[in-house]
Structure 1
Amino acid sequence: MSPHRLALTGIGLYARSRTLPLTLALLAGTCAFAAEAAHRTDDVQRAPGWSAPVVALAPLLAAALIGASLYAPSEELDRTAVRPWWPRRLVHLLALSVLACAPPALSVPGDGPAFVAAASLRTLLGCVGVTAAAAVLVGARLSWLPAFCCVGAVHLASGGVRGWAVTVWAWPTRPGQEAGAWLAAGAVFVLGTALHAALGPRPESPRAQGPHRPS
């Protein structure tokens, strides 16, 4: 099938309406940013906070890009479609999440500390979950904001705090191998993904009226 015909199929139209080609290009740029940041910090003496661009910033950027791609330009058409849209939404979110896992996996070169890659991967999954849930609650265009606020607030509030509970609620700041942080981030990812697949993004068009119903 030619590229022109593929662009006119259901998959091609879906990808264009969600600006997936642009999202994929920007995710590739995020991957390059994370890898470059890791290489630069690996070449110099590590100081406190040296891994912040890799552990926090790159996953946040990737989650924001994924959240923006969840925007539905025609919510009314999606809601009244003959076939249910939740499988498309689920595949869309999971596929981009898998692709976004490349920056954490490639962010630490050579013999760098493995906890940085694990922590950045966990942060990515948790932030994608927050972003997906935010798309349902506040709309895809602002879905990046709760994740940025969550990570920023946790970084401010978790300094010097001890105990098992902090490994759960402060999952964006914890070392890569802590089970509580992984369970919390994983639960957020599953919940956000399920909410978005079932309900879709909040309508943002002025013409979209009525309750937010699953399609």
Structure 2
Amino acid sequence: MNGPLLYARSRALPGAIAAPPAIALLLAWSASRPDGASWDPGFGLPMEAICPMLAAAVIGTSLYAYADELDRTAVRAWWPRRLTHLLVLTALAATALALAAASGTTCTGASVMARNTVGTVGATAVSAVLVGARLSWLPVTAYLGTAFIAARTAGGAGATVWAWPVQPDRETAAWVTAAALFAAGAALHAYRGPRPDRF
């Protein structure tokens, strides 16, 4: 088995590649429901939070390195592989979810779905460096849930930054925040790799 196939198998890439289209189908199904884009109308957590969160969780867990000691002592630098891995999966997830949002009758626009996916994946990559790939979804899930709940009563210019997933596509600050999160996550992950998991 050659290097690329070993890398893909060790990072569970087949599943990570198959997940975004499956999540996009979930989004398309939810858009056809009478209650629109909300998974639970009583709670109000919309698909623009759930779908990027699911995609980011799958991508985050695929960043796990089974032999981080080998990665650190390899002759060739690993940062191009790590960066390519993250960029390809993010592009796939953002494109699939944006197309699903654009094809439905949901209030979630394609650009908002793409922005939220990019920003959420970036935050997950930062979490993978700080807490490990297997738990990288946990801080991001907690943050997104808090942001969507707190943004109902919060206001002011600062909300466009800390509650960026809730903002409409015309909010420049939300786009800048999502892009900055992704840039930070991609740079940190490419340079450091995920924190070794010891359990």
TM (norm. structure 2) is 0.90
Between the aligned partners of 2:130 and 2:93, the Cα distance in structure 1 is 23
- Residue matched to 2:112: 119
From the superposition, tell whether residues 179 and 141 of structure 1 become closer, same or farther in structure 2 (CA, over 3 Å): same
Question: Is 1:195 aligned to 2:188, yes or no?
Answer: yes
- Residue matched to 2:26: 33
Q: Structure 1: which 5+ runs fail to align?
A: 1-7, 207-215
SS in 2 for 1:131: helix
Match of residue 100, structure 2, among 98, 106, 109: 106
Could you report, residue by residue, the CA deviation over 1:176-215 in whole angstroms, capped at 9, with x for unpaired residues? Answer: 2211111111111111111000000001147xxxxxxxxx
Match of residue 128, structure 1, among 99, 108, 121: 121
Contact 1:55 1:117 in 2 (8 A): no
SS in 1 for 2:81: helix
Contact 2:49 2:116 in 1 (8 A): yes
Q: CA deviation at 1:110?
A: 5.5
Match of residue 139, structure 2, among 146, 162, 172: 146
Could you report, residue by residue, the CA deviation over 1:126-149 in whole angstroms, capped at 9, with x for unpaired residues? Answer: 110110000000000000001101
TM (norm. structure 1) is 0.83
Q: CA deviation at 1:16?
A: 0.4
Contact 1:38 1:108 in 2 (8 A): no
Q: CA deviation at 1:173?
A: 1.2
- Residue matched to 2:65: 72
In structure 1, what residue type is equivalent to 2:55?
A
Structure number with greater Rg is: 1
Could you report, residue by residue, the CA deviation over 1:96-131 in whole angstroms, capped at 9, with x for unpaired residues? Answer: 000001112322326655x53222221111110110
Between the aligned partners of 2:141 and 2:191, the Cα distance in structure 1 is 24
Between the aligned partners of 2:134 and 2:48, the Cα distance in structure 1 is 24
Contact 2:37 2:106 in 1 (8 A): no
Q: CA deviation at 1:161?
A: 2.1
From the superposition, tell whether residues 28 and 110 of structure 1 become closer, same or farther in structure 2 (CA, over 3 Å): closer
- Residue matched to 1:172: 165
Between the aligned partners of 1:57 and 1:120, the Cα distance in structure 2 is 10
Q: CA deviation at 1:45?
A: 6.0
Task: Compute the RMSD of aligned alpha carbons.
Answer: 2.1
From the superposition, tell whether residues 112 and 173 of structure 1 become closer, same or farther in structure 2 (CA, over 3 Å): closer
Count, aligned residues: 195
Contact 1:54 1:107 in 2 (8 A): no
Contact 1:56 1:123 in 2 (8 A): yes
Between the aligned partners of 1:112 and 1:61, the Cα distance in structure 2 is 18
Q: Structure 2: which 5+ runs fail to align?
A: none
